[in-house]
């Protein structure tokens, strides 16, 4: 069960956010409205939401998922592999201290790893082998989580920016999955909820205490998830999609330790 969320208001500079393909410039005012709708959806589910101020010097800073991994036992401040994003990590620490004792906040100091490249499935973390992380960062991450009884493994990922673009766990053994990860036998033990190629973008869904938050406009996947008995909330996040953002990247979701 999650109780809290941390988000960061997009800065005006978000229109210059990193992207792999240009599909149009984001409309900042619309992005702000979509961000508020995202917050409203989570508050409607009873989550306490901390809204951090925009960081103009970091166009991608609204994607707070990439700078930390938060659990019920500890938090890890990551170290983004995208050079323009690495400094964002300094700005999440204070927000985490509100909810975690200092000795339960760990830091990636070796190499790089981004939160979007880490997907938790029960007590295991799958880490993506993408351009945003390296061996040293992944190794240190796995060493830290092992101290808390978690396990971790690294999986090849070629179709998305992060492994989290192509899979998300919605509990009860249900794994929303798409792209190359479908060919990885490691995931055969899960009930695969397959996002079709044309709906691949929507595979990044957020499970929030039994409800699934997902991008608007992907009716097949929405039905597949509803058919499993989940309530679904859809969010229009067109402006974040233009800079490779999806649903989970806009928040840190956790059960506060203090």
Distance CA 66, CA 132 (A): 10
Q: Does 257 bind ligand CIR (CB under 6 A)?
A: no
Considering only residues 181, 206, 233, 243, which one is a binding residue for ligand CIR as defined by CB under 6 A? 243
Considering only residues 2, 58, 63, 99, which one is a binding residue for ligand CIR as defined by CB under 6 A? 63
Distance CA 88, CA 252 (A): 14
Residue with tokens 């609204």: 62
Write the DSSP symbol of residue 241: H
Per CB under 6 A, which of residues 173..192 are in contact with ligand CIR?
none
Q: Does 81 bind ligand CIR (CB under 6 A)?
A: no
Q: Point out the residue whose Cβ comes nearest to ligand CIR.
A: 116
Judge whether 162 counts as a catalytic residue: yes
Smallest distance, ligand CIR to C-beta of residue 103, A: 27
| Sequence-separated (6 or more) residues with CB below 8 Å from residue 183 | none
Residue 61 vs 105, nearer CB to ligand CIR: 61
Residue 4 pairs with which residues in a beta bridge?
Answer: 48, 254
Decide the pairing of beta strands 151-156 and 124-129: parallel
Considering only residues 7, 31, 60, 79, which one is a binding residue for ligand CIR as defined by CB under 6 A? 60
Considering only residues 82, 136, 144, 194, which one is a binding residue for ligand CIR as defined by CB under 6 A? 82
What distances in angstroms separate CA 186 from CA 126, 128, 191, one per listed residue?
Answer: 10, 13, 12
Query: Strand, coil or helix: what is 35?
Result: helix
The catalytic site residues sit at 162, 249
Residues forming the site for ligand CIR (CB under 6 A): 17-19, 60, 63, 65-66, 82, 85, 116, 161-162, 164-165, 243-246, 249
């Amino acid at each position: 069960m999650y109780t809290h969320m941390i988000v960061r208001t997009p800065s005006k500079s978000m229109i210059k956010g990193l992207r792999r393909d240009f599909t149009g410039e984001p409309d900042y005012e619309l992005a702000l409205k979509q961000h508020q709708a995202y917050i409203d959806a989570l508050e409607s589910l009873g989550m306490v939401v901390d809204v951090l101020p925009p960081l103009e010097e970091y166009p991608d800073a609204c994607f707070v998922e990439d700078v930390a991994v938060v659990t019920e036992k500890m938090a890890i401040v990551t170290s983004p592999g995208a050079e323009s994003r690495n400094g964002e990590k300094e700005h999440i620490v204070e927000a985490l201290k509100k909810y975690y004792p200092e000795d339960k906040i760990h830091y990636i100091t070796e190499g790089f790893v981004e939160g979007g490249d880490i997907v938790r499935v029960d007590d295991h973390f799958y880490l993506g082998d993408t351009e945003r992380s390296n061996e040293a960062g992944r190794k240190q991450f796995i060493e830290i989580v092992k101290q808390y009884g978690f396990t971790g493994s690294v999986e090849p990922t070629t179709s998305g920016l992060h492994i989290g673009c192509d899979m998300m766990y919605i509990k009860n053994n249900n794994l929303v999955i798409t792209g190359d990860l479908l060919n990885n036998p490691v995931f055969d033990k899960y009930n695969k909820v397959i996002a079709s190629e044309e709906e691949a973008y929507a595979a990044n869904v957020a499970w929030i205490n039994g409800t699934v938050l997902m991008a608007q406009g992907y009716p097949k996947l929405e039905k597949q998830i509803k058919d499993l008995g989940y309530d679904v909330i859809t969010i229009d996040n067109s402006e974040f999609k233009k800079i490779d953002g999806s649903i989970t990247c806009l928040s840190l979701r956790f059960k506060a330790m203090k």
